[in-house]
Structure 1
Amino acid sequence: MAIRKEAGAGSSAEEGDRGVSILRLLFTGGCFVGMGLTAYLTGLHWWGKLPAGCSADGGCGAVLTSAWSKLFGQPVSLYGFGLYTALAALSSLGWTPFRRGLALSLLLFGVLWSILFVYVSLFVLEATCPYCLTSAGLLSFLFLLLLFWPGAKPDRRFWLGLLPAVLAVGGGSAALFHFSALRGEQAARAALIAKQEGEELRWLEELAKHLDKKGVKFYGATWCNHCRLQRALFGQAASLLPFIDCAPGGRGTPLIAPCREIGVRTFPTWTIGNRRYEGILTPETLAELTGFRPRPGNGGNPAIGP
């Protein structure tokens, strides 16, 4: 009987060790997936590129180039990379009650910010970003995995003290960031939609006609937010732009043939000669690229957008 009990106990211990190893593999693997995802998005942001798979309806572009895409001048994905790296480091050291509580706090902080970004993309920008949704789901998965992890758990001080503090700081900072970005977005939009008058308007009208004569094309969609901002830069002269509506059937519908043929993947897209430019271009930039005279009293500005 004693031998059988010892054998059973040994078998249970082995199964428990195997289960913990699987959990550790899942957690560490999830951290590395998150690090790879956020590093990819950060690198592309620094290089001024959009990630693969961003649809031409502006979903990814609208989210990743919005006022909510940066924090202190750096892409939000950079801070996500730091979060996943810290979680991977804590996991490699082994879980103690303190480390587990710290990791849960970091994950909860990340989940709160992810909820903000999902809300903004779906209800403010009315766009979807699969990369952002993937990161939000990954953080939620890691949080639940660590929450129900067997073994020593954080003590009552964590649940009664640190956890409420994280909820308050994480939620408060996310809300503050949101309203700050919202004000910035509204101020930028108000500045863009200001009507041009007099000599300014004449210059914009002549520039729009010049672009059409040069064979320049502006690919976009009437429902695209970034396209509306692009047109707003021309004020009352916007109707003269060489605009091609790539998705007249609405969001999510197939692109028309001319847009498919040149491989439009985000709105707006400009073609000037043999070159293609993705994102919003200022009138000054368009004038410079096409050899048009400079704007009255303005030396020119760089391109903006993705």
Structure 2
Amino acid sequence: MTSSRLSERLAGQRRRGDSGSKWIRVAMAVLATIGVIDTGSITLKKWGVLASLSCNSQGFFGCNGCEKVLSSDWGSLFGQPLSLFGFLAYSAMLLMAVLPLVIPGEARHNLAQPSWWGMVLLSTGMTVFSAVLLGVMAFAIRDCCPFCILSAALSTGLLVLSLFGGEWEDRGQLVFRGLITALLVGVIGLGWAASVGQPAVETGRGVPPPVRAESTEATIALAEQLTDQGARMYSAYWCPHCHEQKELFGKQAADKLTVIECAPDGRNSQKELCDAKKIEGYPTWEINGQLDSGVKPLTKLAELIGYEGPALN
């Protein structure tokens, strides 16, 4: 009889504890959902699914619309966008926050505390790694990305909520595991950031990536005629769409184009000219005195200048 009452009392305490932290789980689910949308949209943009045809010259709070950050050496990991791993982390947070709310019966109570441990440790790692990325943006890339800043804020919010939401009987164990996780992620993150940044230091900053495609007789002829007619391409070294435009020409033809570097920290920058022309996106073509932004098919460029030469593929 005593054992039965004790079990009922413990079960009642678990139910009250779960009920008290329910709103925190809901709040964490909302933040995690925002994180999923945030990192998911960045990933799709990096993959080209949501990509525009031009890069913004100015974004929120003076940021370059995230393109410079996302196209930097630190924008990918294992050949995939870094945001993809953030998407997976937020998805895991969302799953751990929601499952104990929807699973019925005793399984809900059995899953409650392990999920709090998972959320607090995962959010600790996310927050520390976000801090590393903010440092990279501030001191290495020297630009910012509003979506990345939002992700850092969401990670911190999830950490705070998870600390308040869990019923931590042994706070010493919580502090110990949290510190170990933070130190481990911090050391790995700093090592990764330093190793990734090394090649950029050796090759110099402000330099666009090399064009790999080979030119054809037709693309070389088109580039020469564009230059002869005074056509200009306003570009930024960090803009992936500018690089895409050059790849359409190939490396030999791209060298014949008149390319104006607009990034203030780019090599041979002509930012004053870009500002005078009121360039708002990259690449922007100036042909016959008209400005037109975005990646252009070679056939479109040929049409604009009345191209005469070998057929373009």
The bucket for the TM-score relative to the shorter chain is: 0.5 to 0.7
- Where structure 1 has 5 or more consecutive residues not aligned to the other structure, the ranges are 1-13, 194-205, 279-289, 294-306
1:197 aligns with none
Aligned position for 1:177: 192
1:69-108 matched pairs, under 5 angstroms = 69-94=75-100, 96-108=112-124
Alignment of 1:120 with 2:174, yes or no, is no
Q: Distance in 1 between matches of 2:287 and 2:84?
A: 33
**Which of 198, 221, 226 lines up with 2:238 in the alignment?**
226
8 A contact 2:233–2:258 mirrored in 1: yes
SS of 2:66's partner is helix
Change (3 A) 1:15 1:269: farther
1:208, 1:70 → 2: CA distance? 32
Find the aligned partners of 1:133 and 1:245 in 2 and give their Cα distance: 25
Return the letter of the residue paired with 2:238: H
Contact 2:39 2:83 in 1 (8 A): yes
Alpha-carbon shift at residue 208 of structure 1 (Å) = 7.7
Evaluate the alpha carbon distance shift between residue 141 and residue 180 of structure 1 in structure 2; reply closer, same or farther with a 3 A threshold: same
1:21-57 Cα offsets, whole Å, 9 max, x none, are 4322211111111111111111111117657997414
Match of 2:233, as an amino acid?
F
Indicate conservation of the 8 Å contact 1:34/1:81, yes or no: yes
Please tell me whether residue 64 in structure 1 is matched to residue 81 in structure 2. Answer: no
Question: In structure 1, what residue type is equivalent to 2:48?
Answer: W
Aligned to 2:204: 189
- TM-aligned CA distance change 1:62 to 1:23, over 3 Å: same
Give the match for residue 7 of structure 1. none
The Cα RMSD (Å) is: 4.5
Amino acid at match of 1:241: T
Change (3 A) 1:82 1:271: farther
Amino acid at match of 2:73: A
Segments of 5+ residues of structure 2 without an aligned counterpart are: 1-14, 59-63, 101-110, 209-220, 244-250, 297-306
> Closer, same or farther in 2 for the Cα pair 1:30/1:168, shift >3 Å?
same
Q: Please, which moves more after superposition, 169-178 or 49-58?
A: 49-58
- Give the secondary-structure state (helix, strand or coil) at the position aligned to 2:21: helix
Counterpart residue identity of residue 39, structure 2: T
Identity of aligned residues (%): 23
C-alpha distance in structure 1 between counterparts of 2:171 and 2:65, whole Å:
43
Q: Give the aligned partner of residue 26 of structure 1.
A: 27
**Shift in alpha-carbon separation, 1:117–1:258, aligned structure 2, 3 A:** same
**How has the CA–CA distance of structure 1 residues 153 and 242 changed in structure 2, closer, same or farther, with 3 Å as cutoff?**
same
CA drift at 1:97: 3.3
Q: Secondary structure at the match of 1:113?
A: helix
Segment of structure 1 superposing worse, 74-83 or 52-61: 52-61
State the TM-score, normalizing by the size of structure 2.
Answer: 0.61
Structure 1 53/209 Cα, relative in aligned 2: closer, same or farther at 3 Å?
closer
Q: Conserved in 2, the CA contact under 8 Å of 1:111 and 1:139? A: yes
Q: Which residue of 130, 133, 137 maps to 2:149?
A: 133
Supply the distance in 2 between the matched residues of 1:154 and 1:101 (Cα, whole angstroms).
12
Decide whether aligned partners of structure 1 residues 291 and 16 sit closer, same or farther in structure 2, where only a CA change above 3 A counts.
Answer: farther
Superposition TM-score, scaled by structure 1 size: 0.63
Q: How many equivalent residue pairs?
A: 243
Contact 1:219 1:246 in 2 (8 A): no
Counterpart contact for 1:219–1:244, Cα < 8 Å: yes
Q: Give secondary structure in 2 for the equivalent of 1:157.
A: helix
Match among 160, 169, 182 for residue 167 of structure 1: 182
Contact 1:59/1:127 (8 A) holds in 2? no
In the alignment, structure 1 residue 241 sits paired with structure 2 residue 253: no
Distance change in 2, residues 1:110/1:190 (3 Å): closer
What corresponds to 1:147 in structure 2?
A: 163
CA distance in 2, matches of 1:209, 1:51: 27
Checking the alignment, whether the CA contact within 8 Å between 1:98 and 1:154 is kept in structure 2 is: no
Counterpart CA distance in 1 for 2:276 and 2:43 is 32
1:278-297 matches, cutoff 5 A: none
What is the deviation of 1:60? 1.5
Pair 1:275–1:185, CA change in 2 (3 A):
same
